[in-house]
C-alpha cells in the first residue's frame, strides 16, 4: 500500500517522540493535580474524606497529594534515565498512577464503573496511560 508506506516514512523520524507525548502529558497532569493540593494537608480534601468516613483523613489526603506529585515526576524522570533504574522508576510511577486513579474512582466515582460516564471521562485515560507505563516501563 503506497499510502501506508508514505505515512510510515513521514512518521518514522518522530517515532522516538511518541512515548514522550504520553509521558509528558501524564507526568505533568499528575504533578499538577498533586501540587494543587498543597500546602498539606489539603483542607478541602480532608473535610471531604472525613465526611465520607475515610480514616485519618489528614494523613490519607496528604499521601494522595504526595503520591500524585511523586508519580508525575517519576514518569518524566524515569524516561530521562536510560538505565534500568529509569525503567524501574517509570514502572513504579505508572503503577502508582493506576492505584491512585482506581482509588479515586472507588471513592469519588463508584457510580462510574462500567458505565458511559467512565468511558467519556478523561480520567479513564490517566488509568490507561498509567497502566501502559507500569507494563512497558521504558521499553
pLDDT band at 9; cut points 50, 70, 90: very high
pLDDT (0 to 100) of residue 58: 96
Comparison of pLDDT for 113 and 8, the residue scoring more? 8
pLDDT band at 8; cut points 50, 70, 90: very high
Buried b (16+ CB within 10 A) or exposed e, 17-43: eebeebbeebbebbbebbeebeeebbe
Q: Model pTM?
A: 0.88
Mean pLDDT of the chain: 93
> How far apart, in Å, are the Cα atoms of 84 and each of 43, 98, 106, 133, 138?
38, 21, 33, 14, 9
Q: Is the peptide bond before 41 cis (omega within 30 degrees of 0)?
A: yes
pLDDT (0 to 100) of residue 131: 97
Q: Which residue is associated with the grid cell 500524585? A: 68
Q: Per-residue pLDDT for 113 more than 80?
A: no
Residue 114 grid coordinates:
462500567
- Residue spans of the domains in the chain: they are 18-136
pLDDT tens digits, residue range 60-72?
999 999 999 999 9
Amino acid at each position: 500500500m503506497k499510502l501506508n508506506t508514505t505515512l510510515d516514512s513521514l512518521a518514522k523520524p518522530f517515532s522516538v517522540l511518541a512515548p514522550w507525548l504520553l509521558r509528558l502529558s501524564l507526568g505533568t497532569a499528575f504533578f499538577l493535580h498533586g501540587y494543587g493540593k498543597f500546602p498539606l494537608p489539603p483542607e478541602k480534601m480532608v473535610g471531604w474524606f472525613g465526611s465520607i468516613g475515610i480514616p485519618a483523613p489528614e494523613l490519607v489526603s496528604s499521601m494522595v497529594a504526595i503520591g500524585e506529585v511523586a508519580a508525575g515526576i517519576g514518569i518524566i524522570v524515569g524516561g530521562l534515565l536510560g538505565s534500568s533504574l529509569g525503567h524501574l522508576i517509570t514502572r513504579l510511577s505508572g503503577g502508582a498512577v493506576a492505584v491512585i486513579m482506581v482509588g479515586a474512582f472507588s471513592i469519588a466515582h463508584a457510580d462510574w464503573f462500567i458505565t458511559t460516564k467512565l468511558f467519556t471521562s478523561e480520567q479513564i485515560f490517566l488509568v490507561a496511560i498509567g497502566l501502559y507505563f507500569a507494563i512497558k516501563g521504558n521499553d
